[in-house]
Amino acid sequence: MSHTPTNTARAAQAKVWFITGAARGLGLALARQVLAQGHRVAATSRNLAGLRQALGEGGERVLALAVDPVSEQAVQTAIDQAVATFGRIDVVVNNAGYGQQGTIEALTDAELRRNFDVNVFAPMHVLRHVLPHLRRQRGGHIFNIASIGGFHGGYAGWSSYIAGKFALAGLTETLAAEVAELGIKATVVYPGPFRTEFLSKDSLVTARQAIGDYKAAQASLDLHVGSMDGRQAGDPDKLALLLLQAASVAQPPLHLFAGRIANTLAEEKMAAVRGDMAAWRGASDATDFPEGA
């Protein structure tokens, strides 16, 4: 005989999600799917009014929070509010970020630092202040949203963005090793191109300076803004469901690639690395001291 879960059973299975950058794009798609599946969500954005409008009527299962992700105090306050409201946090999604386009030579120190403040240091603010709660619970799952550009870095003109996403990927690997004994899971997500507002003027910043000799960088920018925007292959609602699926299993992946393009590019990168290793293996191994020395 089949049984329909009671409201009490559903409540017991429900998780509390803490999602940054939830007013649009993947963050919004994820927040909506989380609510649709009966979970609770603490959602952050700089624009509280826009966030509330985007999430609609979630009732007591939604906590909308105005947060500047660069402000550690604001992040700490938001996490404390989420715990005070829901009693716990089960799943953390570091999603807030923006694209910075510009060649290494052209980018200013201020442009680089601002990009790293939002894309790298802001997620670290979240981790520092949420981990004490997860540690006490002896459980939880952290998703850090990187990009396929955080694994396959060969994109001219995206040096700052790519470097930040590589940093986030490396951070997640170390985090997973640190928290494994505490029952906490960590996953770095590498989306390919998804049909969000990432390439819009509100999410993509171009360097103030452009150097004409860098033709490949300009061609990449023209391709992304001129041809790809609004035509990306990835469906953000399906990516949201993928994250929900990964959060529901006992052994989630450390590395989660999203979309056919991301998988193809990851395979290309791994093949290229294997090729370089094979070509230089003899010379590389020879840099060791002789065995027994």
Residue 4 lies in a domain: no
Residue 98 lies in a domain: yes
- For 71, what's the count of Cα atoms within 13 Å in the CB-facing half-sphere? 12
pLDDT of 268: 96
Residue 292 lies in a domain: no
pLDDT digit string (tens) for 193-225? 765 555 455 568 888 888 888 888 877 777 766
**Boundaries of domain holding 47:** 12-279
Residue 136 lies in a domain: yes
Is residue 124 over pLDDT 80? yes
Residue 75 lies in a domain: yes
Sorted by sequence, the CB contacts under 8 Å of residue 118 that are 6+ apart come out as 69, 70, 96, 97, 98
Is residue 15 over pLDDT 90? yes
Percentage of the residues of the chain whose pLDDT score is greater than 70: 88
pLDDT digit string (tens) for 70-101? 999 999 999 999 999 999 999 999 999 998 99
Number of other CB atoms surrounding residue 124 within 10 Å: 17
Residue 95 lies in a domain: yes
Average pLDDT over residues 51-59: 79
Residue 2 lies in a domain: no
Residue 5 lies in a domain: no
Overall number of domains in the chain: 1
Of the listed ranges 19-33, 156-170, 202-216, 225-239, the least confidently predicted one is: 225-239
For residues 256-280, one letter each, b for 16 or more C-beta atoms within 10 angstroms of the residue's C-beta and e for the rest, the string is bbbbebbeebbeeeeeeeeeeeeee
How far is it, in rounded angstroms, from Cα 127 to Cα 278? 38
Catalytic residues: 161
CATH of the domain at 231: 3.40.50.720
Comparing CA positions, the residue from 34, 69, 32, 39 lying closest to residue 53 is 32
pLDDT digit string (tens) for 236-278? 889 999 999 999 999 999 999 998 999 999 999 999 999 999 9
Q: Is the distance from CB of 96 to CB of 69 less than 8 angstroms?
A: yes
